[in-house]
């Protein structure tokens, strides 16, 4: 037991910092070693606190009942459960092993026996505990755990074999940016004690302190090394190849049993970068946080995977805003020309359509021409119908939209994409990150009343995402860590309307005045239904500011003061203005030495 700690014995940390050397030695005599496997619960909320623990090696998450996200994480040489133990209370949280771990346990009977022999221990620990409780209550929020993985297991998915070229590129990309150790079963046998021993777990955790990343290459089958690699990993990458059998194998089944969905990713490896298809068959039988495509002839795709893992992936989040969203295209063009490379894009309503085109790798000039074709030449939002299900002819609108987005699945895009819609069945935000791209964009931009909702096979009713989240930055945060370009607009304030309410005509008067050319021009100059509806949907659009994180950067391209939300015919003007403004804004950020620019330049250097 004593060999598992340093020669100094009990760590001089936390509530033990005020103990004398003799008192720490006395406590050491009552400690026993307890190994835990990944997923084992060390202490459970609500149970009696019958022991305190000290982490020798490993990693633990602290969670509260009813909350999915951990409050914090606990690492080596940190105590667990000491407050409840010394105060005689019950556990206030659940502590679970995040990987194979070792702890020292001091039970109630052993502690009472030691305290009887050394009464000073109790007085010292009580004073230290009071100080710690005072410090704890002064902190409004617990520290958030570091979301970046340190240990990564690479396993094969389905019937695939992990290509050697993939492993070579993975090693090269990781080693170029971080101190990385790659271990396969042969190398592990050289460096580690027997895998089933507590010393092996401790040795792996000690290696972690010497490297930024440990990458475990699992065997092709479920060997002892494969099991150890999976149980000890913060992140599991399941490697697929397009033509292999997608049925999950024993390695994946073990990973599903021990590793949370948020820590599992599917990586589909392709010989070359070309149009994709068939990814859905791999995702259909797996629960993973995300999937990624890597092309062996395009190193940038491996670099993108690395950025997702190390928490530096660059995102683009686009807002809704009708015709104003054409400004996204000009800004996107300026950012591309300034060296920005986006790893994931997403948006709401018309912003979803623009980022969908970005994810398809369309050139900004082509997107601008497509905007003109859909909304100006073919007047997608100007063909009205009998108002039974909507005001606009949705068949005509869908036809125009599908000519550009039809026949593409989101999971087959090289650049990850998402959109959001409002689920009127559950009154919740609905995220679209798989399935038909056209349907995802159509649902996100399904303006209530103007267009009929989109209905899912489960019978759920989806309408425009701007009702709940016009700028889905929280959705982007849920998918990844790292910086984001966030695009919003300052909506021009329309002039006050000099309209007398009592002048609005009745139904009969409206029909009579509308069909009589002599009185048609005498209708009150009040905003129409479409204008009122669109401006209503834009209310409360600044809520996203409270959700932005330190790494997020807000871009607000200029909008002409006299431009309306349905003025699609002015798209080229918006694109041009946003493009030149975007170039100037990037130069301003460069002069200010903004961290976003440093991140962009680092990515460009890696390419």
User: 3-state DSSP call for residue 452?
Assistant: coil
DSSP letter at 421 equals: E
Angle, CA of 109, 111 and 113, to the nearest 5°: 70
User: 3-state DSSP call for residue 298?
Assistant: coil
Burial 151-170 (b: 16+ CB within 10 A, else e): bbbbbbbbebebbeebbebb
Element spanning 355, H or E: helix 350-359
Residue listed under structure tokens 């849920």: 478
The pairs formed by 422-426 with CB atoms below 8 angstroms and a separation of 24 or more are 422/462, 422/463, 422/464, 422/465, 422/466, 422/467, 422/468, 423/460, 423/461, 423/462, 424/453, 424/460, 424/461, 424/462, 424/463, 425/459, 425/460, 425/461, 426/460
Element spanning 251, H or E: helix 250-258
Q: For the chain, what's the residue count?
A: 607
Which class for 236: exposed (0-12), middle (13-18), buried (19 or more C-beta within 10 A)?
buried
Q: End-to-end distance of the chain based on CA atoms, in angstroms?
A: 49
Q: State the CB neighbour count (10 A cutoff) for residue 422.
A: 25
Q: Which residues participate in catalysis according to the annotation?
A: 349, 464
Q: Which two tokens stand for residue 158?
A: 């389905």
Q: For 96, what's the count of Cα atoms within 13 Å in the CB-facing half-sphere? A: 17
List of residues 6+ apart from 515 with CB closer than 8 A: none
How many whole angstroms separate alpha carbon 392 and alpha carbon 389?
A: 9
How many whole angstroms separate alpha carbon 163 and alpha carbon 411?
A: 22
List strands edge to edge, sheet with 41-43. Answer: 41-43, 94-97, 60-63, 72-74
How many whole angstroms separate alpha carbon 172 and alpha carbon 161?
A: 20
Q: Which two tokens stand for residue 519?
A: 């009185």
Q: For 596, what's the count of Cα atoms within 13 Å in the CB-facing half-sphere? A: 28
Partners of residue 216 on adjacent β-strands: 153, 183
């Amino acid at each position: 037991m004593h060999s598992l700690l340093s020669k100094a014995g009990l760590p001089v940390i936390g509530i033990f910092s005020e103990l004398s050397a003799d008192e720490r030695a006395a406590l050491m005599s009552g400690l026993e070693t307890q190994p835990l496997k990944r997923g084992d619960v060390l202490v459970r909320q609500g149970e009696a606190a019958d022991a305190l623990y000290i982490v020798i090696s490993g990693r633990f998450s602290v969670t509260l009942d009813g909350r999915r996200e951990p409050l914090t994480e606990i690492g080596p040489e940190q105590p667990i459960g000491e407050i409840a133990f010394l105060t005689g209370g019950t556990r206030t949280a659940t502590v679970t092993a995040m990987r194979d771990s070792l702890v020292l346990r001091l039970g109630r009977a052993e502690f009472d026996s030691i305290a009887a022999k050394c009464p000073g221990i109790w007085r010292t620990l009580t004073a230290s505990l009071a100080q710690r409780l005072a410090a704890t209550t002064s902190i409004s929020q617990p520290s958030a755990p570091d979301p970046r993985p340190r240990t990564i297991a690479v396993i094969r998915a389905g019937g695939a074999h992990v290509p050697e070229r993939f492993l070579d590129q993975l090693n090269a990309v990781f080693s170029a940016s971080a101190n990385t150790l790659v271990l396969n079963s042969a190398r592990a046998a050289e460096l580690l004690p027997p895998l089933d021993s507590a010393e092996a777990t401790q040795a792996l955790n000690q290696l972690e302190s010497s490297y930024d990343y440990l990458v475990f290459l699992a065997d092709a089958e479920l060997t002892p090394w494969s099991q150890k690699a999976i149980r000890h990993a913060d992140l599991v990458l399941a490697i697929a190849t397009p033509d292999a059998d997608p049925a999950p194998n024993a390695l994946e089944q073990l990973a599903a049993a021990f590793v949370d969905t948020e820590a599992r990713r599917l990586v589909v490896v392709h010989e070359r970068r070309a149009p994709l298809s068939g990814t859905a068959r791999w995702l259909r039988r797996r629960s993973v946080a995300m999937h990624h495509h890597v092309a062996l002839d395009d190193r940038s795709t491996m670099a993108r995977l690395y950025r997702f893992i190390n928490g530096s992936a660059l995102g683009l989040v686009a807002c809704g805003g009708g015709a104003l969203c054409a400004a996204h295209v000009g800004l996107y063009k300026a950012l591309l020309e300034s060296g920005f490379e986006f790893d994931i894009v997403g948006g709401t309503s018309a912003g979803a359509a623009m980022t969908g085109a970005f994810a398809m790798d369309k050139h900004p000039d082509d997107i601008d021409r497509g905007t003109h074709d859909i909304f100006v030449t073919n007047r997608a939002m100007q063909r009205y119908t009998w108002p039974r299900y909507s005001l606009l002819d949705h068949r005509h609108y869908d036809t125009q939209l599908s000519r550009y987005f039809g026949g593409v699945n989101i999971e087959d895009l090289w650049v990850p994409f998402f959109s959001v819609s409002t689920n009127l069945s559950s009154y919740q935000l609905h995220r679209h990150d798989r399935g038909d791209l056209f349907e995802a964009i159509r649902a996100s931009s399904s303006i209530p009343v103007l267009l009929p909702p989109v209905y899912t096979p489960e019978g759920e009713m989806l309408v425009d995402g701007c009702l709940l989240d016009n700028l889905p930055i929280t959705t982007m945060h849920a998918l990844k860590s790292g910086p984001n370009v966030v695009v919003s607009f300052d909506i021009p304030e329309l002039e006050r309307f000099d309209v007398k309410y009592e002048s609005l005509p009745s139904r009969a008067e409206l029909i009579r005045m509308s069909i009589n050319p002599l009185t048609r021009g005498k209708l009150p100059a009040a905003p129409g239904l479409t204008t009122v509806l669109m401006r209503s949907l834009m209310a409360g659009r600044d809520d996203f500011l409270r959700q932005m994180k330190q790494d997020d950067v807000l871009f607000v391209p200029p909008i002409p003061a006299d431009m309306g939300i349905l003025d699609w015919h002015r798209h080229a003007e918006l694109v041009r203005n946003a493009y030149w403004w975007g170039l100037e804004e990037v130069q301003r950020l460069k002069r200010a030495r903004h961290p976003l620019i440093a991140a962009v330049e680092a990515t460009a250097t890696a390419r």
